[in-house]
């Protein structure tokens, strides 16, 4: 196994919340007597791939690999807003600060806000300005991922 390499990738799938029990009965057509009782309450997702292949994924595995979008072919403002946190504010001087926004992937967006007059520097304004800048970057990054997921590599 020393010859194995690491690979990364993204794909576009359809999915919905579904217990393993429901997947085995409804999606796979298993008979009730063939399904183990402990599978009844296993939460997860029915996953449907572009070629129609259906599988089931445990909730924690699925939610660590996929981020749900509002629409099929576009990144929305809501998608972007839900992808990053409210930011950690750090005052650098009496007229500047950095706000670090962390995305769902753990990637950090560090945005700086500054003004000329220290008397006019306000945290809420710094947060508003930097949040807008961070959201623009997230929008671009999510667009990149959507493009790759839909069309693959060329």
Give tens-digit pLDDT for 49-65.
889 999 999 999 999 99
What is the signed CA dihedral for 55, 56, 60, 65, rounded to 10 degrees? 20
Angle at 68 between CA 143 and CA 35, to 5 degrees: 145
Mean pLDDT of the chain: 89
CA atoms of 4 and 112, how far apart (whole Å): 42
**pLDDT the model gives residue 40:** 60
**pLDDT the model gives residue 134:** 98
Q: Residue 108: phi, psi to the nearest 5?
A: -105, 140
Angle at 35 between CA 34 and CA 38, to 5 degrees: 145
Query: Are 123 and 114 within 8 A, CB to CB?
Result: no
- Give the pLDDT band of residue 32 (cuts 50, 70, 90): low
**What percentage of the chain carries pLDDT values higher than 70?**
89
Domain boundaries, the chain: 14-65, 77-151
CA atoms of 71 and 50, how far apart (whole Å): 16
**Region of poorest pLDDT, from 32-41, 75-84, 95-104:** 32-41
Query: Are 8 and 22 within 8 A, CB to CB?
Result: no
Q: How far is CA 77 from CA 22, 27, 51, 87, 102, in A?
A: 34, 34, 29, 17, 17
């Amino acid at each position: 196994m020393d010859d194995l390499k690491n690979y990364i990738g993204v794909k576009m799938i359809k999915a919905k919340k579904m217990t393993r029990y429901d997947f085995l009965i409804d999606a796979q057509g298993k008979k009730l007597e063939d399904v183990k009782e402990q599978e009844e309450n296993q939460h997860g997702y029915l996953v449907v791939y572009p070629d129609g292949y259906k599988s089931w994924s445990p909730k924690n595995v699925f939610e660590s690999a996929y981020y749900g979008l509002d629409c099929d072919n576009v990144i929305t403002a809501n998608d972007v807003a839900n992808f990053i946190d409210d930011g950690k504010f750090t005052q650098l001087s009496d007229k500047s600060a950095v706000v670090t926004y962390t995305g769902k992937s753990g990637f950090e967006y560090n945005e700086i806000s500054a003004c000329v007059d220290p008397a006019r520097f306000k945290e809420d304004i710094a947060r508003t300005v930097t949040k807008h800048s961070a959201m623009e970057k997230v929008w671009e990054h999510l667009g990149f991922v959507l493009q790759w997921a839909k069309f693959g590599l060329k």
